[in-house]
C-alpha cells in the first residue's frame, strides 16, 4: 500500500472511531479537511494533470468497457483486452463539445473494499478531482454491481446525484475569516470553519452559510470539485454500445447537461464576436469578474466596465460591472482603465 493510500486509510479509521456528536464535530471536520486538503495526491500512475474546462471520470468495476468507451470517444488507444484489470493506471483523453474542452479519465476498475484501502484505492482519490462521474455498467452483469460502485464512491466522499450546498465562499487578500450564517447551524461554527480553511492554507476569506451546512459541505465548496453526478438511474441513464459507437450523441448531451457549463463569447473592440473559441465557465461562477479571472488574472485589475450582449441584459449592448451575472452564449467586451 502506498504511503498516500495508507494515510487516507488511517484518517478514515480515525473518523470511524470518533463518535459523531456536537462535541466532536470540530475534530471530525479537521479530519475530513485533512483527508481532502492534506491527504496528498492519488499516487504515481494515477494522478493526471487537469486540463480543459471540466473533467469527467468513467468509474466502474473491472472489465465493463470503460477504456473502449474512452478510446472511441476521444481517440485514445491503449491496451484493451477481455480480461480483468486491463487498465492499471488512469488513462486520460480529451473531447471538444459545443466549444468546451472536456477531459475524460478512464479510472482503474473499482473493487469492493477500495474505500477501506483494499486493492487500488487510489482510483477513488482521482475520482474526487472530477466534475462529473459516470458509472459504467455492463448490462449483461448482475444489477447488484451498481450498489458496489455506489458504496465505494460514497465512502470516499463522492456525492451521488447531489447538488452543491448553498454556501458562499470567496477568498480575499486580508481581513481574516469572516463567517456569516443566515440560519441556525448544527455543526459549523467560526472555530471549525477557520480550522478547516487553515488545512487548505486559506486564512482570509468570506464564508456565508445559507443553509444548515456540514463540514463535508464546506470542503466540497472549497475544493470546488467534490460533487459527482452518476447517470445509472432513470432518467439519469444512457444506453450505449461502446464497441459499436451507438448512441454517443445522447451520451455527450447528457454529459453537457450535467456539467452545466456556460459559453461566453468575446468581442474585441471594433471587431465581430469570436464564436469559435468561447470562454467556458461553470454555472457556479458566471459573473463578469469570473470571466476576467478565467481569461487572465490581471484583467480584473485593469477592469473599467463591460459591454454585454445576450440574455443577461435588457439592452444590447448594455454596460455592466464586475458583479453582473452572465448567461450562456452572452457576448462580452471588456473596457480597461
Asked if residue 253 and residue 303 are part of one domain, the reply reads no
What is the average pLDDT across 119-128?
61
Is 1 a domain residue? Answer: no
Any domain includes 11: yes
Angle at 80 between CA 75 and CA 85, to 5 degrees: 125
Whether 29 and 170 share a structural domain: yes
What does the pLDDT average to over 69-80?
Answer: 73
Cα separation, 32 vs 58, whole angstroms:
25
Whether the CB-CB separation of 90 and 124 falls below 8 Å is answered with: no
Range 291-298 contact pairs with CB under 8 angstroms and sequence separation of 24 or more:
291/264, 291/326, 291/332, 292/322, 292/334, 295/266
Residue 47 belongs to some domain of the structure: no
| 67/129 Cα distance (integer angstroms) | 19
Average pLDDT for the chain: 79
Query: Structural domain of residue 189, as residue ranges?
Result: 6-39+165-223
* Same-domain pairing of 73 and 130: yes
Q: Is residue 232 part of a domain?
A: yes
Are 149 and 66 members of one domain?
yes
Task: Tell how strand 91-97 and strand 100-106 pair up.
Answer: antiparallel
Query: Within this chain, do residues 137 and 247 fall inside the same structural domain, yes or no?
Result: yes
- pLDDT at residue 161, as a whole number: 66
Q: Decide if pLDDT at 121 tops 70.
A: no
Same domain membership, residue 276 and residue 239: no
Phi/psi for 177 (5° steps) reads -95, 120
Q: How confident is the model at residue 44 (pLDDT cuts 50, 70, 90)?
A: very low
Which helix (H) or strand (E) covers residue 236, if one does?
A: none
Taking only the tens place, the pLDDT of each residue in 228-266 is 444 334 457 888 888 888 999 999 999 999 999 999 999
Residue 11, pLDDT above cutoff 60 = no
Q: Which residues of 274-311 are buried (b: 16+ CB within 10 A; e: fewer)?
A: eeeebbbbbeeebbbbbbbbbeeeeebeebebbbbbbe
Which one is predicted more confidently, 157 or 166?
166
Q: Residue 153 domain-assigned?
A: yes
Rounded distance, CA 293 to CA 299, Å? Answer: 7
pLDDT reading at 20 higher than 80: no
Which 8-state DSSP code applies to residue 302?
A: G
How many domains does one find in the chain? Answer: 3
One domain, residues 304 and 246: no
Residue 200 pLDDT > 80 = yes
The reply to whether 105 falls in a domain is yes
206 and 190 in a common domain: yes
46 belongs to a structural domain: no
Q: Indicate the range of 143-152, 169-178, 291-300 predicted with least confidence.
A: 143-152
Q: Does residue 49 fall inside a structural domain? A: no
* pLDDT for 38: 41
Taking CA 191 as the corner, what is the angle to CA 188 and CA 193, rounded to the nearest 5 degrees?
Answer: 50
* The pLDDT of residue 176 is above 80: yes
In tens, the pLDDT along 328-337 reads 999 999 999 8
320: left (phi over 0), alpha (psi -120 to 50) or beta: beta
Number of other residues whose CB lies within 10 A of the CB of residue 51: 11
Whole-number pLDDT of residue 232 = 39
What is the separation, in whole angstroms, between the first and last Cα of the chain? 55
pLDDT at residue 115 is higher than 80: no
CATH of the domain at 59: 3.40.50.300
Amino acid at each position: 500500500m502506498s504511503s498516500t493510500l495508507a494515510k487516507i486509510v488511517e484518517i478514515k479509521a480515525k473518523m470511524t472511531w470518533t463518535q459523531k456528536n456536537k462535541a466532536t464535530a470540530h475534530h471530525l471536520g479537521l479530519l475530513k479537511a485533512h483527508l481532502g486538503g492534506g491527504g496528498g495526491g492519488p499516487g504515481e500512475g494515477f494522478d493526471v494533470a487537469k486540463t480543459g474546462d471540466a473533467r469527467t471520470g468513467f468509474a466502474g468495476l473491472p472489465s465493463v468497457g470503460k477504456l473502449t468507451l474512452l478510446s472511441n470517444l476521444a481517440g485514445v488507444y491503449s491496451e484493451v483486452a477481455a480480461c480483468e484489470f486491463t487498465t492499471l493506471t488512469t488513462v486520460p483523453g480529451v473531447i471538444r463539445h459545443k466549444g468546451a474542452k472536456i477531459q475524460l479519465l478512464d479510472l482503474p476498475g473499482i473493487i469492493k473494499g477500495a474505500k477501506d484501502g483494499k486493492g487500488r484505492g487510489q482510483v477513488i482519490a482521482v475520482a474526487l478531482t472530477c466534475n462529473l462521474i459516470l458509472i459504467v455498467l455492463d448490462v449483461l452483469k448482475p444489477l447488484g454491481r451498481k450498489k458496489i460502485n455506489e458504496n465505494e464512491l460514497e465512502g470516499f466522499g463522492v456525492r451521488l446525484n447531489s447538488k452543491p450546498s448553498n454556501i458562499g465562499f470567496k477568498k480575499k487578500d486580508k481581513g481574516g475569516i469572516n463567517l456569516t450564517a443566515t440560519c441556525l447551524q448544527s455543526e459549523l461554527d467560526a472555530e471549525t470553519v477557520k480550522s478547516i480553511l487553515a488545512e487548505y492554507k486559506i486564512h482570509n476569506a468570506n464564508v456565508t452559510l445559507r443553509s444548515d451546512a456540514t463540514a463535508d459541505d464546506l470542503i466540497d465548496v472549497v475544493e470546488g470539485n467534490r460533487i459527482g453526478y452518476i447517470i445509472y438511474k432513470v432518467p439519469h441513464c444512457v444506453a450505449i454500445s461502446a464497441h459499436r459507437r451507438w448512441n454517443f450523441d445522447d451520451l455527450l448531451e447528457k454529459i453537457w447537461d450535467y456539467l452545466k457549463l456556460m459559453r461566453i463569447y468575446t468581442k474585441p473592440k471594433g471587431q465581430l464576436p469570436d464564436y469559435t473559441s468561447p470562454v467556458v465557465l461553470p454555472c457556479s461562477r458566471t459573473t463578469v469578474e469570473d470571466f476576467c479571472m478565467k481569461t487572465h488574472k490581471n484583467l480584473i485589475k485593469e477592469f473599467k466596465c463591460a459591454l454585454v450582449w445576450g440574455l443577461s441584459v435588457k439592452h444590447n449592448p448594455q454596460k455592466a460591472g464586475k458583479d453582473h451575472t452572465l448567461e450562456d452564449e452572452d457576448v462580452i467586451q471588456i473596457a480597461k482603465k
